[in-house]
């Protein structure tokens, strides 16, 4: 298969070719590796291939799930395959490979995916730009001077450039939606508890973190959530089962929706860039033309509240993970092993007391209740993902000495002021690639829904994709 032909398909499209025996899983895997070899030298989205895992899957034959034979990348943080490195983009974790599959990785396998490599991320996922010291920066395939976003920046850049049609991603503060926005692909953050973090974790970062993928098409995201969602054995969360599959929802026209929108940044956040404002207004008009009721409104959540809660949640979680790893390996946190802002968060987390964490969780409850009340008057909220187009690489330098933990959190979330509140509340939210700047940089828009209502998001996303298709809009590579 020629690379130009391969890059036209989404994941389900490639799987259909495998199931009809028009192409073999091995040929698809080799094509994906050829795409990586051709493109990755400049983009640096893939930090390592996984030949042993790929050969094991091809030798046994991929599972006959809906993604049978589809090439796939695993992010360097989160869900993990047995004996495949998961280094968290940190020099401290160099060489670490978990001895077992996470439950989500096992579900990826059962869906038929063929792992071909690992995608880049910022160290410990603590940035919205993917430029770790360990692996070097990933470049936005639309313009190499710009960031692909983060923390799933390698995944989004690989999908946007055509290396693979789908890639693992996760989202603790916008890390699916931000790179999806920056790279012009689709990314949905599921509801808290929809995907499992088992067996190694109960919740990730007090429930802020969610696992899923980035993709070129809405249907790939929906079908993947169908294939992988649900609790693991012994989990405390059990979400209500949706009335139909997410894939079916993406094909069904939504009911008339009440969609609130905002073109004003949360109080305390930087003023919205005109291109981001225009993206929201044009999307609101498109929704209105599709028959939905659209009106301007925004939840009463301040930028200061979101930043403070996120800092107080991520710092102790990071400190616990790093301390446990150091105790087990004898390694030491220092300038040669951990980036400056990660060290700041680590030290901040070590100094926190139990009463501080309870205070943060009380703030989580307050923000969640406010958002819940806001969504009594609307079905969805439309907003920007970011306050500006994708920033230039180097602006968000995570190894800058002298930056405090809370100072770093404010710096990165000044650029992505609309995402974190939904990690706090656990509500589902998505980035839809409907707009590009005059300079050719993608700008995604965010839709957020009530708790456990991914079905509504997928239904609207499918409608928007049919009304204004984006799959054939590709970077000038």
pLDDT one-digit tens code per residue, 219-241: 999 999 999 999 999 998 789 88
pLDDT one-digit tens code per residue, 437-467: 999 999 999 999 999 999 999 999 999 999 9
pLDDT band at 79 (very low <50, low <70, confident <90, very high): very high
From 119, 175, 181, 221, active-site residue: 175
pLDDT one-digit tens code per residue, 267-285: 999 999 999 999 999 999 9
- What percentage of the chain exceeds 70 in pLDDT? 100
User: What integer pLDDT is reported at residue 242 of this predicted model?
Assistant: 81
In sequence order, which ranges of 185-263 are alpha helices (DSSP H)? 218-228, 246-251
Q: How many structural domains compose the chain?
A: 1
pLDDT one-digit tens code per residue, 111-156: 999 999 999 999 999 999 999 999 999 999 999 999 999 999 999 9
* Residue 301: inside a domain: yes
User: What integer pLDDT is reported at residue 142 of this predicted model?
Assistant: 98
User: What integer pLDDT is reported at residue 236 of this predicted model?
Assistant: 85
The answer, yes or no, to whether residue 202 has pLDDT greater than 90, is no
Q: What are phi and psi of 46, to 5 degrees?
A: -105, 125
User: What integer pLDDT is reported at residue 288 of this predicted model?
Assistant: 98
Buried b / exposed e across 214-252, counting CB within 10 Å, b at 16+? Answer: bbbbbbbbbbbbbbbbbbbeebebebeebeebbbbbbbe
Question: What domain range includes position 365?
Answer: 3-467
Q: What are phi and psi of 117, to 5 degrees?
A: -175, 180
Sign of the four-CA dihedral 214, 42, 98, 321 = negative
**Residue 175 is a catalytic residue:** yes
* Residue 476: inside a domain: no
* Residue 461: inside a domain: yes
* Residue 228: inside a domain: yes
The arithmetic mean of pLDDT across residues 373-385, rounded, is 98
Mean pLDDT rounded to a whole number for the chain:
97
**Residue 416 is a catalytic residue:** no
* CATH number for the domain harbouring residue 279: 3.90.1300.10
The answer, yes or no, to whether residue 243 has pLDDT greater than 90, is no
* Residue 247: inside a domain: yes
* Residue 477: inside a domain: no
From 129, 147, 151, 181, active-site residue: 151
From 49, 75, 109, 411, active-site residue: 75
Element (H, E) at 130: none
Local structure of residue 391 (DSSP, 8 states) = P
The answer, yes or no, to whether residue 324 has pLDDT greater than 90, is yes
- What percentage of the chain exceeds 90 in pLDDT? 97
Contact 433, 185 (CB under 8 A): yes
**Residue 181 is a catalytic residue:** no
* Residue 474: inside a domain: no
The answer, yes or no, to whether residue 286 has pLDDT greater than 90, is yes
* Residue 394: inside a domain: yes
């Amino acid at each position: 298969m020629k690379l130009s032909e391969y890059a036209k398909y989404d994941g389900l499209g490639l799987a259909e070719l495998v199931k009809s025996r028009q192409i073999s899983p091995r040929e698809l895997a080799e094509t994906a590796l050829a795409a990586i070899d051709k493109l990755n030298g400049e983009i640096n989205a893939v930090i390592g291939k996984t030949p042993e895992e790929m050969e094991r899957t091809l030798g046994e034959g991929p599972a006959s799930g809906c993604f049978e034979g589809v090439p796939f990348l695993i992010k360097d943080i989160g869900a993990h395959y047995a004996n495949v490195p998961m280094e968290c983009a940190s020099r401290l974790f160099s060489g670490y490979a978990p001895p077992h599959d996470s439950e989500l990785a096992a579900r990826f396998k059962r869906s038929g995916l063929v792992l071909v490599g690992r995608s880049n991320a910022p160290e410990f996922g603590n940035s919205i730009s993917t430029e770790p010291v360990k692996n070097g920066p990933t470049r936005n395939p639309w313009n190499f001077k710009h960031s692909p976003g983060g923390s799933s920046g390698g995944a989004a850049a690989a999908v946007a450039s055509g290396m693979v049609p789908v890639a693992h991603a996760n989202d603790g503060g916008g890390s699916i939606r931000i790179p999806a926005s920056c790279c012009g692909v689709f990314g949905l953050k599921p509801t808290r508890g929809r995907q499992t973090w088992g067996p190694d974790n109960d919740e990730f970062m007090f429930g802020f973190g969610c696992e899923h993928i980035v993709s070129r098409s809405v249907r790939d995201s929906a079908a993947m959530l169908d294939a992988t969602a649900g609790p693991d054995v012994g989990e405390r969360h059990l979400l209500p089962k949706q009335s139909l599959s997410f894939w079916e929802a993406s094909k069904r026209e939504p009911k008339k929706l009440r969609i609130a929108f905002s073109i004003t940044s949360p109080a305390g956040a930087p003023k919205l860039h005109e291109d981001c404002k225009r993206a929201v207004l044009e999307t609101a008009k498109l929704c209105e033309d599709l028959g939905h009721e659209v009106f301007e409104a925004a939840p009463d959540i301040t930028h200061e509240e979101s930043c403070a809660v996120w800092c107080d949640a991520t710092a102790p979680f990071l400190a616990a993970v790093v301390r446990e790893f150091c105790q087990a390996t004898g390694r030491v946190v220092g300038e040669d092993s951990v980036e400056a802002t990660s060290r700041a968060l680590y030290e901040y987390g070590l100094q926190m007391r139990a009463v501080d964490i309870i205070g943060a969780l009380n703030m989580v409850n307050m923000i969640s209740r406010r958002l819940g009340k806001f969504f009594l008057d609307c079905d969805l909220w439309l907003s920007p993902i970011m306050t500006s187009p994708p920033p230039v690489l180097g602006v968000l330098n995570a190894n800058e000495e002298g930056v405090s933990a809370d100072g770093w959190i404010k710096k990165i979330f000044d650029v992505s002021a609309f995402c974190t509140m939904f990690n706090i509340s656990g509500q589902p939210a998505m980035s839809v690639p409907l707009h590009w700047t005059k300079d050719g940089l993608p700008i995604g828009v965010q839709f957020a829904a009530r708790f456990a209502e991914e079905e509504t998001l997928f239904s609207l996303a499918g409608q928007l994709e049919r009304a204004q298709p984006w799959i054939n809009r590709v970077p000038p590579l």
